[in-house]
């Protein structure tokens, strides 16, 4: 009897433990799933682009549609083009304060908030789009980006990459360093600071303002992106010299959320946004490559493609090193982000030189 009583007690106790374990598993499962599955979440997202603007504008619209599809209709992101909710270059502040939930723009526009942001946008003569994505994912770049944006109540995602950009449209040919002195040029980010050291005056303008400013002589030159968008903007009509690029080898776009709003989203909705943002990034990069190739084949015989003289490029490299050094001395965030960026650049360059660079040199 005693043995039978002991066995029964053991079975009951074991069953209780199993049930208790099941309850814990259920609780953990609830935490890791979308507890708002039947509840619709609506978010407002403003962009820095005009309505229906090719690639960037259409890309973010596709992103919003994918979020709706992947969530089964429970994640509804309403996209507003520039100036509908807020001006193009005020989306950062609007999301930071909670006026809007998210925005799509270019990271280097916000270097006035923290100069470290310009590195996430892209550094002249450094990482290409593929290299930037790799640094972000595996070299520590993304963690630093999230850390620095958190100070502004923001949570960023990569929202596209442009590939290598052209150096811009100039009304006058650049034959020497003297031609840069007094030159008013639309060029954001670190590239603009480099030219400023060489005597030029960088001007920050939103996309829709560039053509008018160049046509009316308010600026003397402007970079934008590449052959497809540049031709669409009409730059060949007003500036005869089209220069090869150096300042933006692989600029990153962003789809960034108000951090408080982001933290309140369900895990499933966060995962859907992350997946859709990565999909958008790949497609934007591919679309830029394809449409730039098509546009260049039509442009190459109609415009004068130029390359900056070697002495000018040498001066640009010296000025670039000066800008990076001086900013690192002033801003600890810039110093930390730059170190991570440069560490990856040096690591990757050795491999890239004997692989990708070698192949590109010999395939022609």
Give one DSSP letter per residue of 158-218, joined into a string: EEEE--SPP-EEESS---SGGGGTT-EEE--HHHHHHHHHTT-EEE---HHHHHHHHHTTS
Question: Based on the number of CB atoms within 10 Å of its own CB, is 311 exposed (0-12), middle (13-18) or buried (19 or more)?
Answer: exposed
Distance CA 150, CA 107 (A): 14
Residue 1, pLDDT score: 46
> Which domains, and CATH codes, for the chain?
41-162+251-290 (3.40.190.170), 165-247+301-330 (3.40.190.10)
Would you say residue 8 has pLDDT above 70? Answer: no
The pTM (predicted TM-score) of the whole model is: 0.87
Strand partners, 169: 222, 242
**Residue the block writes with tokens 């730039």:** 292
Phi, psi of 86 (to 5 degrees): -145, 155
248 DSSP 8-state letter: -
Instruction: For residues 10-30, give the mean pLDDT.
Output: 47
CB count, 10 Å around CB of 59?
25
Span 105-153, pLDDT tens digits: 999 999 999 999 999 989 999 999 999 999 999 999 999 999 999 999 9
Distance CA 271, CA 274 (A): 5
pLDDT band at 2 (very low <50, low <70, confident <90, very high): very low
Distance CA 21, CA 26 (A): 9
Distance CA 127, CA 107 (A): 15
Distance CA 105, CA 110 (A): 10
The token duo for 218 is 């308010």
Span 326-361, pLDDT tens digits: 999 999 999 999 999 999 999 999 999 999 999 999
Measure Cα distances from 184 to 39, 111, 190, 231, 329 in Å: 52, 19, 16, 21, 28
3-state secondary structure at position 122: coil
**Residue the block writes with tokens 């990153």:** 252
Mean pLDDT of the chain: 91
**Residue the block writes with tokens 């520590």:** 140
């Amino acid at each position: 009897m005693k043995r039978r009583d002991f066995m029964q007690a053991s079975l009951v106790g074991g069953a209780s433990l199993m049930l208790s374990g099941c309850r814990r598993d259920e609780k953990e499962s609830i935490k890791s799933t979308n507890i708002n599955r039947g509840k619709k979440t609506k978010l407002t997202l403003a962009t820095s682009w005009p309505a229906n603007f090719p690639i960037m504008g259409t890309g973010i619209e596709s992103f919003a549609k994918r979020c709706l599809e992947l969530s089964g209709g429970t994640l509804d992101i309403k996209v507003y083009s520039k100036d509908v909710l807020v001006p193009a270059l005020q989306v950062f502040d609007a999301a930071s304060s909670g006026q809007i939930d998210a925005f799509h723009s270019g990271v280097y526009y916000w270097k006035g908030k923290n100069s470290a942001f310009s590195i996430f946008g892209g550094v002249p003569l450094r990482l290409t789009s593929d290299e930037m994505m790799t640094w972000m994912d595996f070299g520590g770049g993304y963690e630093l980006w999230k850390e620095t944006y958190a100070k502004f109540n923001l949570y960023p995602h990569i929202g596209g990459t442009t590939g290598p950009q052209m150096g811009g449209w100039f009304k006058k040919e650049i034959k020497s360093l003297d031609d840069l002195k007094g030159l008013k040029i639309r060029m954001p980010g670190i590239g603009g600071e480099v030219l400023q050291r060489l005597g030029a005056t960088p001007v920050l303008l939103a996309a829709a303002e560039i053509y008018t400013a160049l046509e009316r002589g308010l600026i003397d030159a402007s970079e934008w992106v590449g052959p497809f968008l540049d031709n669409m903007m009409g730059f060949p009509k007003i500036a005869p010299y089209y220069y090869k690029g150096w300042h933006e080898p692989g600029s990153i776009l962003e789809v960034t959320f108000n951090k408080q709003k982001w933290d309140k989203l369900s895990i499933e909705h966060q995962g859907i946004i992350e997946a859709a943002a990565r999909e958008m990034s790949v497609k934007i990069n591919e679309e830029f490559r394809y449409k730039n190739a098509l546009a260049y084949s039509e442009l190459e015989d109609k415009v004068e493609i130029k390359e900056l003289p070697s002495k000018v490029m040498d001066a640009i490299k010296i000025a670039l090193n000066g800008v990076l050094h001086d900013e690192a001395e002033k801003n600890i965030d810039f110093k930390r982000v730059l170190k991570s960026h440069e560490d990856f650049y040096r690591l990757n360059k050795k491999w890239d030189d004997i692989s990708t660079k070698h192949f590109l040199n010999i395939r022609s």
